[in-house]
Each structure stands twice: as C-alpha cells, then as structure tokens.
Amino acid sequence: MELIQLTPWDLSIASLMVLGLALLSWHLQLGIEKRLLWATARTIVQLTLLGLVLKTLFSQDHPLLIGLLTLFMLGVAGYEVMARQERRFTGSWGMGIGTLSMFISSFSITLIAVHIVISVDPWYTPQYLIPLLGMLLGNTMSGMAIALDNLTQNAYLQRGAIEARLILGHNWDQAIRDIRRNALRSGLIPIINAMAAAGVVSLPGMMTGQILAGSPPMEAAKYQIMIMLLIAVGTGLGAIFAVWIGSYRLFDERQRLRLDRLRNPT
C-alpha cells in the first residue's frame, strides 16, 4: 500500500484539536493551557527542523555531520535530565552526571545495535543510527531523571538517618544503599510498565510508524521488540551509572554527607 502523504491542512486539523484542549483547560481553570500551547509549538518547530536536518544528512551521509548531530542530541538530553530534577547537583556535575551516563549507556547500546544486531554498513548510516540513538536517549533520559530526582530528594529528606548510619561506622555506600536501590527502582518502573503493556494495552510508536509507512506488520513487530529490549538495557545501565555517580557525589573524601552540593528548589 502506498504511503499517504500528509498535507499542511491535515496537520492544522490536529493543531486545532490541541487548541480546543487548551480552551477546555482555560474554561476548567486547570492552568496548563499556556504550557500545552508552548509544548505544541516546540513540537512542531523542533520536528520540522529535525526533518529538514535528517533530509540533508540522508542525502550527504557525511560522518562528521552525523557525529555533530549525535553530540548535539546528547548535550540536549543531558540538559533535560538536569532540568527535570528538583534538587539538582550544582556546577558542572548537574549536567555532567546525566550526559556521561547516557554516553556510556545509550551510545554503547546503539553501536552494538547497528554493528551486531542490524549489521548496518557503514555503521553510521543515519537512517538507522539517528532514530535508534534518539529513541534510546529519550527513554534513558526519562528513566535517569526520575532515578536521580528520587535519589537527591530522599537523600535530603532522610539526611538524619544517613548521618546516623555514618556515626555508627557505616561507609557512604552502606549509608545510602537503600535510598539508591529505591531510586533505581523508580527509574526502571516506566520502561517495565511500557514493556508489560506493549501490544496489549498500547501499540508502540515505532511499530505504528512503520505500519503506517507500509511495512509488513511482522517486520514492524520485530523491530519494535528489538527497540524495547535495547531501551530497557540502555535505561537500566544509564540509571545505574547516574545513581552511583550521584550517590558518590553526595559525600566527600571524609565520608561526610554534603547536601550543599545540591541546589535548593526554586
């Protein structure tokens, strides 16, 4: 079946429905209409620009341009991880923890996928590399942000219990172990729920897009299975690295809890 091309009028109809939702929010005094409209505008502009950038990359297939785009995506994802935390780390650590953890997890998993699983030649083919990396970064970013926010919030709220353990002779790892474990669980819950509901409650986005584009349903299902498994691994590894680095950063070389390294909520 030939792919049906969407016209600007088709997209404007969807935009009008979002506008209707914003009006409903205003009428019910929910207070989210401005954020909804701003998010809609950002979505339209960002995805349009991304489409133009990818069109250029697909036509040129230049490794340097592809590398610059992947680094830009990583930097934005690192910033979003920091921005979603109520008590973020101060200084370069605020953005550095998320960026480094995603570089270790999402980039390595993406390289394994294009090299071994899909066996793309060359491995930097943007048609495969950019969408895979984007999906991994997006989901890893969300899981890490939840895990780090849970870690810093509970470290602040339970600072008395942590300091009591330190006084009793526990090292920093033992003093914060339970909080770190709970933070990791919270970061992994969204992807676990998504995997449990995939194909039963929800039809995942990549599979939907491939089916709409005319791919055979079974081929779309296989790609979606691969993506969900890679996202689970990427999210797990990213959250583990981020929470461990964050936990270590909460203490100094003398095993003292240093909550002054966290920025107070604004």
Structure tokens at 216: 């055979």
**C-alpha 95 chain-centroid distance:** 14
- pLDDT tens digits, one per residue of 151-182: 999 999 999 999 999 999 899 999 999 999 99
Q: Which residues contact 139 (CB under 8 A, 6 or more apart)?
A: 191, 231, 234, 235
Strands (DSSP E) found in 21-112: none
**C-alpha 44 chain-centroid distance:** 19
Structure tokens at 104: 């270790």
Map out the domains of the chain as residue ranges. Answer: 1-60, 63-261
Q: Would the pLDDT of 1 be above 60?
A: no
**38-71 residues labelled b (16+ CB within 10 A) or e (exposed):** eebeeeeeeeeeeeeeeeebeeeeeeeebeebbe
Q: Would the pLDDT of 104 be above 80?
A: yes
Confidence of residue 147 (pLDDT cuts 50, 70, 90): very high
- pLDDT tens digits, one per residue of 4-24: 677 888 888 888 999 999 899
Distances (CA, A) of 124 to 59, 107, 120, 184: 13, 12, 8, 32
Distances (CA, A) of 215 to 45, 72, 174, 222, 233: 27, 30, 51, 11, 26
The letter for the amino acid at 87 is R
Whose CA is closest to 245, among 190, 189, 176? 176
Q: Return the bridge partners of 249, or none.
A: none
**250: which DSSP letter?**
T
The end-to-end CA distance of the chain, in Å, is: 53
Residue whose pair of structure tokens reads 């997209």 in the numeric block: 11
pLDDT score for 135: 86
CA atoms within 13 A on the CB side of 84: 19
Task: Tell me the average pLDDT across 189-194.
Answer: 87
Task: Tell me the average pLDDT across 103-118.
Answer: 87
Query: What is the spatial distance between Cα 56 and Cα 130, in angstroms, rounded to a whole number?
Result: 13
- pLDDT tens digits, one per residue of 221-255: 888 888 888 888 999 999 999 999 999 999 988 88
